[in-house]
Amino acid sequence: MRSIAIFGAVGVLVAGIALPSFASSGAPVDATATLQQVAFDDAQSLVVASQATAAPLDRGTYTATTPEEIAEKKEKEAAAARAAAAAAASVASTPRNFNPGNYELVSPGSGEVRYPLPQGSYNQGRTIGGGHNGVDMLAPQGTPIYSTAAGVVRASAESIGGYGVAVMIDHVVGGQSVSTTYGHMTYGSRQVQAGQSVGAGQLIGFVGSTGRSTANHLHFEVWYGGSLVEPYSWLAANAG
Ligand SMILES: [Zn+2]
């Protein structure tokens, strides 16, 4: 039932999401954007630690033996799944008004490359591979998100496919063209618009769980000329 519950929650979220809006926003669509658009369907998938550890406990308490008991157990589980799906949809669709004055407008650090979340504010989740094009940086809703380098915002919208509320930024880092994507932000939390220039470490939005996501986290992608880079090692080597 657990997997069905998650599927149900995702279905509710996806049902309310328009098709990628940046494709028709007038923003230039380069090769990188096309790759990212193609990739976003498979880009987001997150296993939540609390859900993973709950599974054995659920099985351990499954003591029903008669058909009636099993039917009752299944009905209770179905009700719990519906409640979880409703709760997830409610959280994801609740607009939040953020006051950026409560947060640093520029992240700490002085390097050309900065961490997209404050150091110490997140745990490392899934990285690239298996159709997942970024890293899942697990952090509480409302954690500030910073542009990882100076650049120009290519896309900024409340719904970009599975990314949900997302921002995409084009940079030049070390003389090379680099594009970054920041997904699953909280509704109403974006601080930048398409076409806007941003500085390294500039506040761009806040962590949420919009789009294809089941828990608060930042989905962060790094592309060099249309090729994926593993963001955790890239940040470790470049950010400061
Ligand atoms: Zn992800």
Paired sense of beta strands 227-229 and 197-198, if any: unpaired
Instruction: Please tell me the predicted confidence (pLDDT) of residue 97.
Output: 55
Q: Break the chain down into helix, strand, coil percent, rounded to 5.
A: 35, 25, 40
Distance (Å) from CA 209 to ligand 1 centroid:
11
Q: Is 177 exposed, middle or buried (0-12, 13-18, 19+ CB in 10 A)?
A: middle
Instruction: Please tell me the predicted confidence (pLDDT) of residue 22.
Output: 37
Distance (Å) from CA 21 to ligand 1 centroid:
20
Six-digit token pair at 152?
Answer: 């120009």
Rounded to the nearest 10 degrees, what angle do helices 2-15 and 67-93 cross at? Answer: 30
Cα–Cα distance, 143 to 110 (Å, whole number): 20
Is residue 163 within 8 Å of 217, Cβ to Cβ? no
Distance (Å) from CA 132 to ligand 1 centroid:
6
Under DSSP, the state recorded for 186 is P
Count of helices and strands (H, E) across the chain: 5, 10
Is residue 166 within 8 Å of 160, Cβ to Cβ? yes
Instruction: Please tell me the predicted confidence (pLDDT) of residue 206.
Output: 96
Six-digit token pair at 31?
Answer: 């090769």
Distance (Å) from CA 68 to ligand 1 centroid:
41
Cα–Cα distance, 72 to 152 (Å, whole number): 56
Is residue 197 within 8 Å of 152, Cβ to Cβ? yes
Instruction: Please tell me the predicted confidence (pLDDT) of residue 85.
Output: 64
Instruction: Please tell me the predicted confidence (pLDDT) of residue 237.
Output: 96
**What residues pack around ion ligand 1 (CB closer than 5 A)?**
44, 136, 219
Paired sense of beta strands 135-138 and 165-173, if any: unpaired
The length of the chain in residues reads: 240
Instruction: Please tell me the predicted confidence (pLDDT) of residue 132.
Output: 96
Fill in the amino acid letter for 10.
Answer: V
Instruction: Please tell me the predicted confidence (pLDDT) of residue 64.
Output: 59
Cα–Cα distance, 73 to 41 (Å, whole number): 34
Instruction: Please tell me the predicted confidence (pLDDT) of residue 52.
Output: 38
Distance (Å) from CA 218 to ligand 1 centroid:
7
Is residue 107 within 8 Å of 145, Cβ to Cβ? no
Distance (Å) from CA 236 to ligand 1 centroid:
19
Is residue 209 within 8 Å of 127, Cβ to Cβ? no
Cα–Cα distance, 209 to 88 (Å, whole number): 9
Is residue 142 within 8 Å of 98, Cβ to Cβ? yes
Six-digit token pair at 45?
Answer: 């998938």
- Domains of the chain are 2-13+48-93 (no CATH), 19-46+95-238 (2.70.70.10)
Distance (Å) from CA 127 to ligand 1 centroid:
7
Predicted confidence pLDDT, tens digits, the chain (240 residues): 444 444 444 444 444 343 343 333 333 333 343 344 434 444 444 434 443 333 344 444 445 577 787 788 778 887 777 776 655 554 444 334 566 667 788 888 889 999 999 999 999 999 999 999 999 999 999 999 999 999 999 999 999 999 999 999 999 999 999 999 999 999 999 999 999 999 999 999 999 999 999 999 999 999 998 899 999 999 999 999
Instruction: Please tell me the predicted confidence (pLDDT) of residue 43.
Output: 44
Distance (Å) from CA 201 to ligand 1 centroid:
21
Is residue 154 within 8 Å of 169, Cβ to Cβ? yes
CA-angle at 117, arms to 33 and 129, nearest 5°: 50
